[in-house]
Amino acid sequence: LKCLKESTLEIGKYPSQILNLSEEITFNMNCSKALQGGNLKQYKQELQGKLEKYTSSQTNNHLVHLKLKALILDLIHQIEVVDLLISNNVRDPNDWLWFKQLKFWLKSQTKLAKIAMCQGDFDYTYEY
């Protein structure tokens, strides 16, 4: 996923599914770090800043507008997950409230996307 390596997400450059997958992988990685480092409140502020950026974006391009909507919906869910973790004082990545979440990541050896929930994990096959 080339968009994972970019410092800013170029919404018009990639298909919506790739953008959302990239953001889910980034969320899993960053939320896991924040969880273990005790920085969930700070991470929530970063997510809220991103939400502000997306919701204040102006575009006349209908396709970009639809992509933004999808990213915003996922971002709202991510903020809700972080809120849940904060309100329950979760710090352990094995805590049920984090463990039960749907997670996406890139397998380091193969660079293939993976998806997992609880103890089940699968290759992400880009089915839509």
User: Does residue 7 register a pLDDT over 90?
Assistant: no
User: 128 falls in which pLDDT band (50, 70, 90)?
Assistant: low
Measured at the alpha carbon of residue 37, what is the angle toward residues 82 and 68, in degrees to the nearest 5?
35
User: Does residue 116 register a pLDDT over 90?
Assistant: yes
Give the tens place of pLDDT for each residue, 8-27.
788 888 999 999 999 999 99
Give the tens place of pLDDT for each residue, 24-47.
999 999 999 999 999 999 999 999
Looking from the CA of 45 toward its CB, the CA atoms found within 13 Å total 3
Record the pTM.
0.91
User: Does residue 100 register a pLDDT over 70?
Assistant: yes
- Which contacts qualify for 3-12: CB closer than 8 Å, 24 or more apart? 4/106, 11/64, 11/67, 11/68, 11/71, 12/61, 12/63, 12/64, 12/67
User: 94 falls in which pLDDT band (50, 70, 90)?
Assistant: very high
Q: What beta strand segments (E) does 1-128 contain?
A: 103-106, 113-117, 120-123
The whole-angstrom separation of Cα 72 and Cα 102 is 17
Rounded mean pLDDT of the chain? 92
